[in-house]
Structure 1
């Protein structure tokens, strides 16, 4: 008999146990995530009451794949445009929370008598929440349509970005034993550079590519292409020093802006569910009963610091960013746990041998405890807010609401700031493209030429020429490209003289980039001469041609970014109707819903639930502001406006399973092809097929008629029946046999 690989037998044990435990948790109406943790604990190497896995390497591989697919799916739901929309509030809340938690963790460690490095790494471990646990828990509880979830996802994404910088900072401090400000600045700029490069390249290439090959894409090919792109970006992100999870998220965010974004998300969901289950099981396998028994007081203390500290810090940060107290508290109570990045931070400390051996198992234990409490924290957030409303003085509540309204009003009056931001973003993105071209040529093309035994001088000259040609349109746009809306707005604001300051600054940036690039290939005087030649001759003589080339790039980029299909996609995310507590969110109509086909005026959606259906998307057809005679059909996507409470009641209606129950109770009709002979005393004699009402009586169709040896296939409804006719009917067998 062939011997099975260990990884397969371990996977069979893991998923078999997980299947049983999760069914039990579903029966008990508990979050399935907790069932995965329990299943991992039962089959883990730390327990002996059940069969355990024989090797952890294979399980860790599946768990790593699970994190990748989980972040990839999150990116598909959370596009770049949405990140930009909630970025301000999310950034303020996330940075405030991470800073507070690092301080809370550090001082907790010092109070416990820990060393400086242990305390510092403890602060880092406690500061980063678990995207995996939060996303999966929200899905299980059905809370993804709540108003606060948009800001919550934004905070999680910002946290993941901050975690990358935090890893660099902690590593630098561990090695040098001091804070390296320049190293931190370099890492921040590197992260911003690669994020911008991924964004520009992805939006420029992927939507156009998928449009061109759309006719060739079926479910199999689009899944393979999407997963391939995701894993390629994961490898690239890892090679340039970032986490694989970040690479997967960026790929999902870019693909979300394409015409196939929805289909990719639908296809990737089963993979995400399977592999993310293995990830949570692997976390449960790390639970050590001995550590829990010996350090249970310390684990409870650190868990309390996480739960209380994160709830306070995120709530305060979200309120400062202009969110309502209710939304802020719900966000804070949803994010009160630690996760996968905390393990990475603890692993770094262990590998550098600068922290105690107990730190990693403590981090795992705190992660498990806070993972267990997360579902209950999310569910209790509404009740805690109602208690706060009763406890806090009315003037305090009124002041916070007034602050939220003022913040929203200030954000609404933002035309000038938006134009300035777009102007600065244009300069920044063009600079990123120029630097990327230079890095590609100097780090890839030039070494390739030198490896092929090309003379160094010739190789440098050719590489420099290609660099200047490829970057010329973007250098021109950086120095001389104009933004009409921005110029007109400056004139309206009486700040026309500022335009000259901006122009001179842009020219200086462009000249500086040219000089820096050229100096890497040729001596100083040559670099100066080539820079002057590029600015004066190329910038002036070929200005028209460079403008045309650049506008082609820009128009294609903007076309992909603002494609009509994606305008629909943008509506699929929850938009807040501040300062009210209402927002718009999306629901999918099940295929067997009992209300399918009923007109909206009969359903009385607004009267029963207080919500308004703003849009129905049916395939590629959109029904805006649907009238009462419109009906909901299977697989429709419905965009509904209401408060959290109204939307939750509407969700219960949408997910109604009455039809399933009725199908289980009612006898299922047996459909078959049957014969019926028209006898002399039959009521159907000398009547047409339509007049006989055979369709209604048999719930079927007359598909054949035999008359005097002649056969008629699919007879017309006006055909008159005669004595001796033999009918072939497809329908309910029992009803056909009942015909007289």
Structure 2
């Protein structure tokens, strides 16, 4: 067969196999990259042997790497790095150095390498994490703007920048020991000269060139010019003795700050994606499945070593930069893998003789397995944290990182509005509230946002808005309202739930990051849920309707109906199965439990409004499965609880235990005509220091004491031996006349407190 046809057939085979592998991986909800790797293994020389011209395919794959790094350079944003510059530059650099040092020590001790230079090379490979896999996982979970997402992306950017330096210095490691210093110096000098030239070209040559190409208004010419620029700089770096990958990355950087960067990226991305598929498939061709099987125990051991080693390096580093413990743990687990660009280093190292074929194969196998494990680890993290927080000793350890890092002076303590999150939406809310004279307190976890608050002299708490300790410091029980505009769904749900634990009557408005969160947030107790995309649609339509001559009052009424219906007319129709799956997934990320209702439970026959479960126990009822098999997701307040129901509950362990007591009839349920109120026990109250048994409130007044809220902790259905302390909030349930009597009695000798403190708040 002619050589040209052979190459074409090989390319068609690779791309077809990669496409099939990618589709299967997507259908199985796995990283598409994994599908490309497996496709390469199957059709490669160690599989079916369909590819004959492996060298030429590898050459094209190298072109794919160049385009990958080129687009990475174009996407690189100094402004994004600025958000987490301290942890990115300091933590990222320290992580690489510590990983290399640890690898050198371990590999020399275990005899895996024969010289320190080989250990340095191996450490460089292990120090890189996967930008592609981690970024995709964060995008899928809408967590790129979260503190842990920003930390991981910041460290990944520094790792990607370090790749260019590693590729430049790599040839020097193959020199004799006494020449390494000189070789590294020459390599660094070459990089410096090249960087200076790149800066001059980026400032004086690239902008006018792109403007010239753009003025032609020809997509083909613009793409041709950009590709020629990318490959030209890549070839130049290869001629200088540096890597073409580094040249491609620098070419992208020279374009990243130009006004045509987005246009360039839009044109090059399809070519990048095609070449990336070719690259990962070519990597798969280099992996020998038989070798992996024969060395499975060793590879799994190396995988465990990589995960544990990088986790133990990254987690303390992130914590060292004053990030909460949970953020540090997520970052440590999320970056505990070997990245796709390690393949590039490994290939270069093998050609330079830094590693043997066996070590090279082990590196390939270990990298492939860590890339496979990472998405599973990131998906399981919420479930792992829910489980950890169910164990008292682990919960107390995790909560140590949830204390406020900093509290501004003179923060408001009464009649204020709390804004959780100081992003773009949060800033607008704060500005409008302050213009109307309202007292505002902001909670945020980003050092950059806190610095803006300091400069604007806006009261703030630097900490996790989902932390009970932080919410207590915000005096949430005395607040007038709260707006939650946090960047990720999980923090939003936890912040909402814990805020209502501390202040059940608080008026809370929440931004839903995704439309599937709307019902969940309402079920957790939000008074109002706003979805930005739907709100934009409503405002645009309102403007158009006014222009078309429709009456303004009628337009406002229709829009308000849509809001009252939770945007149901705008949301995509989902099958019952899809709704159920989304609910199950969301519930897994919180502390949830299916609870079969006991026979003869006093809850049977009551509506959810009558049971008032959230105020009495703190749990949220997310779904009901009837004995007939009927499933009700997100039941409303008029839903009746039937005998034999199976209830999906979300709540903390003590809340779930409180619900169980209520469901079994171990504690009394308020009568149908009863209402409940939270009553603050002031420091001068006559009941302080007395036990509930001594006070005997149920017998004297016919009022039930359902809960005590003390320093942010709930005591559900307290026993008679429990004493009353100043500052306690008592949840009392009974008829309105009896509640008034109890309230007057408890506050009868309190003459030093304000009228606001003496007010009992009715909650049902």
Please indicate the TM-score interval, normalised by the length of the shorter structure: 0.5 to 0.7
The 3 A distance-change label for structure 1 pair 226 and 611 is farther
- Could you say which residue in structure 2 is the equivalent of 1:70? 68
Shift of 1:56: 0.7
Matched, 1:92 2:90: yes
Alignment check: 8 A CA contact 2:88 2:151 kept: yes
What's the secondary structure of 1:5's corresponding residue? helix
Structure 1 residue aligned with 2:270: 270
Find the counterpart in structure 2 of residue 394 from structure 1.
396
Matching of residues 297-336 of structure 1 within 5 Å: 297-336=297-336
Q: What TM-score does the superposition give when structure 1 sets the normalisation length?
A: 0.53
The verdict on how the C-alpha distance between 1:187 and 1:251 changes in structure 2, with shifts beyond 3 A counting, is same
Alpha-carbon shift at residue 388 of structure 1 (Å): 4.9
Shift, 1:184, TM fit: 4.4
Cα distance in 1 for partners of 2:334, 2:378 equals 5
1:292 aligns with 2:295: no
Structure 2: how far apart are the matches of 1:263 and 1:611?
36
Give the deviation of 1:306 after TM superposition: 1.5
CA distances 1:46-87 after superposition (whole Å, capped 9, x unpaired): 124xx5201211211221122222222223332233334433
Matches within 5 A, 1:161-560: 161-166=161-166, 171-177=171-177, 180=180, 184=184, 187-188=187-188, 191=191, 194-195=194-195, 197-199=197-199, 201-211=201-211, 214-353=214-353, 355-389=355-389, 392=394, 394=396, 397-399=399-401, 402-403=404-405
Q: CA deviation at 1:10?
A: 0.8
**Structure 1 residues 414, 23: CA separation in 2 closer, same or farther (over 3 Å shift)?**
closer
What is the alpha-carbon distance in structure 1 between the residues aligned to residue 322 and residue 9 of structure 2? 52
Aligned length: 460
2-structure distance, mates of 1:200, 1:12: 41
SS at structure 2 position matched to 1:630: helix
How far, CA to CA, are the matches of 2:570 and 2:29 in structure 1?
Answer: 19
More off after superposition, 323-332 vs 13-22: 323-332
Contact 2:99 2:127 in 1 (8 A): yes
Shift of 1:409: 8.4
Contact residue 338 and residue 367 of structure 2 kept, 8 A: yes
Check 1:115–1:34 CA distance in 2 against 1; reply closer, same or farther (3 A cut). closer
Could you say if the C-alpha distance between residues 333 and 227 of structure 1 is closer, same or farther in structure 2, counting changes exceeding 3 Å? farther
Deviation by residue 1:307-347 (Cα, 9 ceiling, x = unmatched): 22223322322232344444433333333322454344444
After superposition, give the CA deviation of every residue in 1:185-217 in whole Å (9 maximum; x if it has no partner). Answer: 664565456446534542454345544654422
Please tell me whether the aligned partners of residues 210 and 259 of structure 1 are also in contact (alpha carbons under 8 angstroms). Answer: no
How far the C-alpha of 1:143 sits from its partner, in A, is 5.8
Q: Is there any run of 5+ residues in structure 2 with no aligned partner, and where?
A: 409-443, 456-461, 467-484, 489-510, 522-527, 544-565, 576-764
The answer on 1:109 being equivalent to 2:107 is: yes
Q: 1:352 to 1:259 in 2, by over 3 A?
A: closer
Higher relative contact order (CA 8 A, sep 6+): 1
d(CA) in 1 for partners of 2:330, 2:542: 32
Question: Do the aligned partners of residues 71 and 141 (structure 1) sit closer, same or farther apart at CA in structure 2, a change above 3 Å counting?
Answer: farther
Which residue of the other structure, out of 539, 545, 548, is the alignment partner of 1:629?
539
Structure 1 residue 298, shift from structure 2 partner:
1.7
- CA distances 1:122-178 after superposition (whole Å, capped 9, x unpaired): 323322224445456656777656554443333223223334444566654542225
Q: Classify the secondary structure of the residue corresponding to 1:629.
A: helix
Matches within 5 A, 1:551-570: none
CA RMSD of aligned residues (A): 4.5
Residues 456-502 of structure 1, C-alpha deviation per residue, up to 9 Å, x if partnerless? Answer: xxxxxxxxxxxxxxxxxxxxxxxxxxxxxxxxxxxxxxxxxxxxxxx
The answer to whether the 8 A contact 1:104-1:305 is kept is no
Post-superposition Cα deviations, 1:377-419, rounded to whole Å, max 9, x if no partner, equal 222233344445555453663446545889978767989xx9x
**Cα deviation per residue 1:78-120 (whole Å; 9 max; x = unaligned)?**
2233334433221222222222322332333234333442544
Alpha-carbon spacing, 1:322–1:77, altered in 2? closer, same or farther (3 Å): farther
CA distance in 2: counterparts of 1:9 and 1:116, whole angstroms:
42
User: How many Å apart are 1:231 and its aligned residue?
Assistant: 1.7
After TM superposition, give the deviation of residue 364 of structure 1 in Å: 0.9
Query: Whole-Å Cα distance in 1 between the matches of residues 272 and 105 of structure 2?
Result: 38
TM-score (norm 2): 0.52
CA deviation string 1:427-455 (max 9, x = no partner): xxxxxxxxxxxxxxxxxxxxxxxxxxxxx
- How far apart, in 2, do the equivalents of 1:23 and 1:653 lie? 33
- How far apart in 1 are the matches of 2:373 and 2:355? 27
Match of 1:443 in 2: none
Quote the residue 2:79 is aligned against: 81
Are 1:11 and 2:14 counterparts?
Answer: no
Cα distance in 1 between the residues matched to 2:573 and 2:63: 34
The residue number in structure 1 matching 2:498 is none
Aligned mates of 2:318, 2:278 — CA distance in 1: 33
Contact 1:89 1:322 in 2 (8 A): no
Shift of the 9–368 alpha-carbon distance from structure 1 to 2, 3 Å rule, reads same
CA distance in 1, matches of 2:406, 2:571: 33
CA contact (8 A) 2:14 2:43 kept: yes
Whether the aligned pair in 2 keeps the contact of 1:101 and 1:126 (CA below 8 Å) is yes
Gaps of 5+ in 1: 419-576, 586-599, 617-624, 634-649, 660-740
Question: Contact 1:70–1:132 at 8 Å: present in 2 too?
Answer: no
Structure 1 counterpart SS, 2:7 = helix
How far apart are residue 230 of structure 1 and its match?
A: 1.8
